[in-house]
Structure 1
Amino acid sequence: MPAAKPKTKKDDWRITPEDFYEIKFASEPQISPGGSTIAYTQLEPDYENNSYKSAIWVVTTAGGEPQKFTSGEKRDHSPRWSPDGNKLAFVSNRTGKNQIYVIDSYGGEAWQLTRMPNGVSDPAWSPDGTKLVFISRTNDEERKLETERDRRPPERLDAEARKKLEEEHKKEEEEKADPRVITRIIYRAETRYRDDRNSHVYVVDLKEKKAKRLTSGERDYVAPVWEPSGQSILASVKRVGDPDNSTIVDVVRIPAKGGKLQLVVRTSGYEADAHPSPDGKWIAYMMTPEKRTSAQNSFLMVVSAKGGTPRNLTESLDRSVNSPAWSHDSRSIYCLCADQGDVSIRNITLSNGKIETIVSGRRSIQWLDVSNTSLLTYMLSAPDIPSDIFTARSDGSKEKRLTEVNKEFLSKKKLSKPEEMWYESFDGKKIQGWLFKPADFDSKKKYPLLLEIHGGPHVMWGLSERTMWHEWQTFAAAGYVVFASNPRGSDGYGYDFKDAIHLNWGEEDAQDILTGVDHVVQKGYIDAKKMVITGGSYGGFMTAWIIGHDQRFAAAFSQRGVYNLTSFYGCTDATRLIEWEFDSFPWDEPDLLWKHSPIAYVKNIKTPLLIKHGELDFRAPINTAEELYMALRKLGREVAFVRYPREGHELSRSGEPKHRVDRLNRMLDWFDSHIGRKPKKRKAV
């Protein structure tokens, strides 16, 4: 591969796969206590190292030029202001494992606070600003050694000594996993095999720099947060029992000095993301009921800090919400809500349960934070904004854009302006979709159509979908009309719509998608002989399903899909998905799962297919892709198989930069070569 980053022609206004190296991503906005400054993470691809680097940036809420606050040569992220606003803690891997660093708010050199052998996550300041709580993974042996380690300050090592220690640690881990002894149902997840460690809650004092563990046992604790008194910490943990056979998670109270844990509320559901009110009287948390369907909405709950019966604040909304954040006066709670392709900010008044839409529009909002003056800050994506930081007043007024992290890049490009469309499906149900046309679109011409299908299945796309921004713009710039929709089963349209594919994958949702294609073709500017199809995860499933039932597409590109539901069940880290979606186990209803498996219709697949998969994808393991490829080869069909080493299920969203660029180039070449275009034989660069 070349050493220099590829250059785009100065006069080329088109978005290309290689433009990915130029795109920056703003995220994780955190507003200072007084509301004057926002710290956020800015991530960008690191071409030379084929990875990513990120730094903490700051910008005043009054406006002005954002300033780079940390070096960002590695991965600095998770900024957290101290309660008095004088310090900023963040997490960085600059010395290897993720550790907590602290820097004064006026700048200077950051100093390392933790030296945990297995790294840290989820830092949160104590109310008095003298301590931080965090999560770190340990096993029994390591916890036994902690008592001795706690008696002395953390050892400071030079670079050579630290490297030697890390190499020894790595060697020990490799020896422990050879052979790998499996004792759990879910023994691998994401891209790694699970070890014998569990996530535990620790507290570190800024002066003593010593970490103290507050939890024990073989349970995983997540999302610790201090209660306003500073005497206790809230966290979420799975209920005692087989952790792989239950999704029931409880919110617990942990004494800050150590001691017996207290159950805050006991329900039959997944409880997480607990947030105490500023006045200490209430605890808000997210809850998803444990019912045999993965289409359940996530509800915002509130309970007295003293205990009692929880209240469901968003049951009447019939939408999933997330990211709760209290107003400074403890009278209401802000949250994010997915609704008909957009993500808005809602506010729920505690006294009467009134739900108001505060910030809305054609956008997707993430990472909501609220100051003690109730100034809101959030990351916003829109068709012309890959990601930037915004603020608004507590009532949603005076919205202000504080960053333009891609201003220079976008100034050279012409973007596709998406068009929303609603159409009637085969049974009259209204379906929402979007068209991304080339920026130089001419209605008198005929264009190839790219059908994009989302995963999940219970997720939602919209015209502002951040994770698809570059891909959709790339194909529109390459001369394709891109069509994406939210068929039944998607989030954002209510529980009944989301649950409509229960026991019925690939049937009515596929008809929703293909009916949408029919509506687009009827507009008159699509060449029906030059239509191609792609999708990832459930979208990969659906791509293979559709070409096994329909012959209208010139080529297909199936990504990280599931093609045999029976063998998928025995290999995935998401076994509950099959149990919930089909109300059974493979050995009880083998015919049902086979009926809804794309590979059952492999003899009908005539469309040229390229199968793409990550070799370390433990969500949708590669074995079903291998089965589909083998079957098509045996049948003599046109099929290709591209396997990406080191990659998991998230290749298209967070994979190695050169793999992400290569994926788009291969898609373009595969499709171009099957619609009569001369492929450019693009290479990964």
Structure 2
Amino acid sequence: MSLDTRSCLPGAMLRTTAALLLSATLPTLAAPPANSPLHQFGEIALSPDGSLVASLEADLPENESQDVATSVLIRAVHGDHAPVRLRLPCSGPDCIPSSLAWMPDSRRLAFVLQPSPTGPRAVYGVRADGGGLVRLLSFKGTLQDLRYGPDGALAVLATANAHKEPGATQAAAKLVGEIGAQQDEQRIATIAGGAVHWQSPAGLYVYQYDWRPHGTRPPEFVGTASPGNGDDNWWTARLYDFSDGTERLLYAPPQRQQLADPVVSADGSRVAFIGGIMSDFGSTGGDAFVLPLDHPAQPANLTQGATATITSLSWSCGPDLVGGSLAGPATQVLALKPGVVPAVLWSGQADLSPTLYGSGLSCGGGISATIRQTFTAPPEVQVGPIGHWRTLTHENAGRSAAARVQSIVWKSDQYQVQGWLLSPPDAPDAMNGRKDALIVNVHGGPSAAWTPYYLTPRGDTLFLLKAGYRVFLPNPRGSFGQGEAFAQANVRDFGHGDLRDIMAGIDAVERTVPVDDTRLGLTGYSYGGYMTMWTVTQTDRFRAAVAGAGISNWQSYYGENGIDQWMLPFFGASIYADPAIYAKSSPMTFITKVHTPTLEYAGDADVECPLPQTQEFYHALHTLGVPTQFVVYSGQGHGMKDPASSADANRRTLAWFDRYLKPAAPAADRRQ
């Protein structure tokens, strides 16, 4: 959920690429009309010279069930030049651009384009002024993570003839024929002459990579990879050096350390990466490590023992390695050096990210760019030296989310735990006055955290606030934000310590604002769906519950899901070697204790939390006579990408909570 350069070059020293933009100037931007759509920034990329920002942008329609069309824009960092909107060879919601990449000289931009759901993917390039669109590659398969090398060569992660989109949150391919006989292989390739040229070998699925500058041929890369099923084996990925179709092992991590975000220093001598216990590819957090590449040994941990979680790394944001970090309620930007306590360059309760769901900065030319947002302040692009950003865009000027936000900190066992309390603007403060219902929303992961993402109409919180509910977002043990020891505090203890943290957090909320403890609701998705199913087997404190894509039975789940490797770092052994540790945390072990009315929903193409898990829980509650409903969304994977399905889940969630949490009408009203 994750999840948010020391000086700016003088304007006269910037390269001339900004002058290529259209010379028309923009008038002062007024606040948008009240009914205008929210403007969303999906990805930004600052040009290496710091003069231009490319971005993926979309307007979110008022109709929550409507698909979204994405555009590619280029803006000048300095001056009042109008942004350039690229003319793509396709249009509409099915025309999907992604993966922005600037050439080292900042004069051209490349991006991946999916013109239609079933056709070939393509890579296009344009000049910095938005003209001269050229197709560089047409490819049958998937393409992602474009990166230019120092000499201007272009690389990409490519999967030829892919059966599904990369990543376990994507909808699963239909299981037919001999299972496991063919696996998708994502490999590093360079693009030249309208074709791909493989740089990593067959037999390894590459997850993330970076160029290694060394000035010689053939090109060289550093990346994380694992053999076999790409969805399943990220948790066992190792760090490799790749060149000309061969690999060299650099580092094999221990079981409870997953690897993410490898980035190579400008001189090609070192690679930095994030290592820590992680439950999901893309939900990144851990410690920052650095490894020499010419004589690799054990990597140096730059943040060992820190009570914060590193969420991003970059060598291009300053003279040293720069890391994004989550420290309790605060997002931080840190300067990282071996043997030195990390220096805080910026800290604040806001989310900073170059992508819609990520963390960190995009840097170049001595400055940085980021998408900045909070729970109540909508996303805008900001640019400037770290900690001294100015707002570049004003697409959401005058807009805010109607909510009051409080960071809540409480003691649970030996831990200081943090979470967020969101309240409607008119919620009372007086403890002797009206008491409101409270809904607890448990985040997925478990290796993740609630952070200040803007409350959009399509999210899982704003619609509850608008209905008058307070919403509590706890970050219990196992979450990011308090260091690696805290992130590993739920190992071999799912549902037990983290539930104690959540229950203690509710007590802390009730000491802070007036809450009606007889009208508590519980919800969550993914691991949060599991925690919802688990919690109603452990307590009757909640009046109603909604579980999205949950896990009801760790024993059966082990053989049903497409990512069983993620369980080994957390349970310590397979289900076949230690069934008792799985039964200890399985809702089905205690299923006869459920009395809480529970709504469940899931997608029928979910790889991570397969549909039978929700079906098993529903079947038990239905048989036991517990009020329940079960909704299945056709074609949806774990990510629930269809807006109509997500909107329907929100409508059903609100109706379920209204049914059980709204105060009873007075007798006179009921007789009418």
Q: TM-score higher than 0.5 here?
A: yes
> Residue 491 of structure 2 contacts residue 570 of structure 2 at CA under 8 Å; is this kept in 1?
yes
Which residue matches 2:96?
Answer: 75
Which residue matches 1:347?
Answer: 335
2:381 maps to a residue whose letter is I
Separation in 2, partners of 1:273, 1:575: 22
Separation in 2, partners of 1:119, 1:246: 18
Determine which of 415, 425, 432 is the counterpart of 2:402.
415
Deviations 1:454-489 (A, max 9, x none): 121222113447799943222112111111211222
> Residue 237 of structure 1 contacts residue 250 of structure 1 at CA under 8 Å; is this kept in 2?
yes
- Structure 1: 5+ residue stretches without partners: 1-11, 14-18, 143-175, 185-194, 680-685
Which residue matches 1:387?
Answer: 379
Separation in 1, partners of 2:305, 2:606: 37
Which residue matches 2:581?
Answer: 592
Aligned-partner SS, 2:139: coil
List aligned pairs for 1:184-203, cutoff 5 A.
195-203=182-190
Determine which of 335, 339, 347 is the counterpart of 2:323.
335
> Residue 224 of structure 1 contacts residue 233 of structure 1 at CA under 8 Å; is this kept in 2?
no
> Residue 297 of structure 1 contacts residue 319 of structure 1 at CA under 8 Å; is this kept in 2?
no
Deviations 1:369-406 (A, max 9, x none): 4544331122222122343222231xx34221222333
Structure with more contact order per residue of length (Cα contacts < 8 Å, sep ≥ 6)? 2
Deviation at 1:642, TM superposition (A): 0.9
* Alignment RMSD: 3.3
Deviations 1:28-51 (A, max 9, x none): 221112211111211345769943
Q: Which has the larger share of helix? A: 1
Separation in 1, partners of 2:64, 2:259: 42
Separation in 2, partners of 1:623, 1:99: 37
2:100 maps to a residue whose letter is P
> Residue 453 of structure 1 contacts residue 534 of structure 1 at CA under 8 Å; is this kept in 2?
yes
Separation in 2, partners of 1:628, 1:415: 35
Determine which of 96, 109, 121 is the counterpart of 1:88.
109
Deviation at 1:117, TM superposition (A): 1.3
Aligned-partner SS, 1:506: coil
Separation in 2, partners of 1:296, 1:361: 20
2:53 maps to 1:38: yes
2:498 maps to 1:509: yes
Question: Which stretch shifts more, 336-345 or 667-676?
Answer: 336-345
Deviations 1:177-215 (A, max 9, x none): 88421137xxxxxxxxxx53311222222xx33332233
1:390 maps to a residue whose letter is Q
Deviation at 1:285, TM superposition (A): 3.0
Deviation at 1:272, TM superposition (A): 4.6
> Residue 338 of structure 1 contacts residue 344 of structure 1 at CA under 8 Å; is this kept in 2?
yes
Separation in 2, partners of 1:555, 1:542: 14
Which residue matches 2:644?
Answer: 658
Separation in 1, partners of 2:486, 2:454: 20
Deviation at 1:581, TM superposition (A): 2.1
Change (3 A) 1:118 1:486: same
Separation in 1, partners of 2:332, 2:79: 23
Determine which of 627, 630, 638 is the counterpart of 2:627.
638
> Residue 265 of structure 1 contacts residue 307 of structure 1 at CA under 8 Å; is this kept in 2?
no
> Residue 373 of structure 2 contacts residue 454 of structure 2 at CA under 8 Å; is this kept in 1?
yes
Separation in 1, partners of 2:539, 2:315: 50
Separation in 2, partners of 1:473, 1:515: 24
> Residue 34 of structure 1 contacts residue 371 of structure 1 at CA under 8 Å; is this kept in 2?
no
2:157 maps to 1:135: yes
Aligned-partner SS, 1:51: coil
Separation in 1, partners of 2:456, 2:493: 27
> Residue 451 of structure 1 contacts residue 534 of structure 1 at CA under 8 Å; is this kept in 2?
yes
Separation in 2, partners of 1:359, 1:400: 14
Which residue matches 2:29?
Answer: none
Question: Which stretch shifts more, 333-342 or 380-389?
Answer: 380-389
List aligned pairs for 1:226-241, cutoff 5 A.
226-228=211-213, 229=215, 231=217, 232-238=219-225
2:144 maps to 1:121: yes
Separation in 2, partners of 1:31, 1:245: 32
2:263 maps to 1:275: yes
Deviations 1:554-578 (A, max 9, x none): 2111111111110011111231333
Aligned-partner SS, 1:630: helix
Which residue matches 2:389?
Answer: 399
List aligned pairs for 1:263-662, cutoff 5 A.
263-265=249-251, 268=254, 270-288=258-276, 298-309=286-297, 310-327=299-316, 331-349=319-337, 353-367=340-354, 368-393=360-385, 396-407=386-397, 410=399, 415-425=402-412, 427=413, 429-443=415-429, 444-464=433-453, 470-523=459-512, 525-651=514-640, 655-662=641-648
Aligned-partner SS, 2:582: helix
- Structure 2: 5+ residue stretches without partners: 1-32, 164-172, 355-359, 666-672
1:431 maps to a residue whose letter is V
Deviation at 1:583, TM superposition (A): 2.3
Determine which of 67, 75, 94 is the counterpart of 1:51.
67
Separation in 2, partners of 1:587, 1:210: 46
Tell me the TM-score normalized by structure 1.
0.80
Deviation at 1:333, TM superposition (A): 0.8
Change (3 A) 1:245 1:252: closer
Question: Which stretch shifts more, 627-636 or 212-221?
Answer: 212-221
Aligned-partner SS, 1:115: strand
Question: Which stretch shifts more, 210-219 or 234-243?
Answer: 234-243
Which residue matches 1:107?
Answer: 130
Change (3 A) 1:246 1:545: closer
Deviations 1:152-189 (A, max 9, x none): xxxxxxxxxxxxxxxxxxxxxxxx988421137xxxxx
Deviations 1:339-395 (A, max 9, x none): 213332211136x544111222001222334544331122222122343222231xx
Tell me the TM-score normalized by structure 2.
0.81
1:197 maps to a residue whose letter is D
Separation in 2, partners of 1:530, 1:342: 31
List aligned pairs for 1:206-217, cutoff 5 A.
208-217=193-202
Change (3 A) 1:481 1:48: closer
Separation in 2, partners of 1:580, 1:353: 30
Deviation at 1:65, TM superposition (A): 6.6
Which residue matches 2:21?
Answer: none
> Residue 289 of structure 1 contacts residue 296 of structure 1 at CA under 8 Å; is this kept in 2?
no
Change (3 A) 1:273 1:437: closer
Question: Which stretch shifts more, 548-557 or 42-51?
Answer: 42-51
Change (3 A) 1:133 1:627: same
> Residue 276 of structure 2 contacts residue 484 of structure 2 at CA under 8 Å; is this kept in 1?
no
2:155 maps to a residue whose letter is V
Separation in 2, partners of 1:76, 1:242: 26
Aligned-partner SS, 1:445: coil
Deviations 1:80-125 (A, max 9, x none): 1111111111111125333210011112252211011114222112
Which residue matches 2:27?
Answer: none
Which residue matches 1:152?
Answer: none
Aligned-partner SS, 2:555: helix
Separation in 2, partners of 1:623, 1:606: 21
Separation in 1, partners of 2:238, 2:626: 51
Determine which of 178, 181, 186 is the counterpart of 2:178.
181
2:43 maps to 1:28: yes
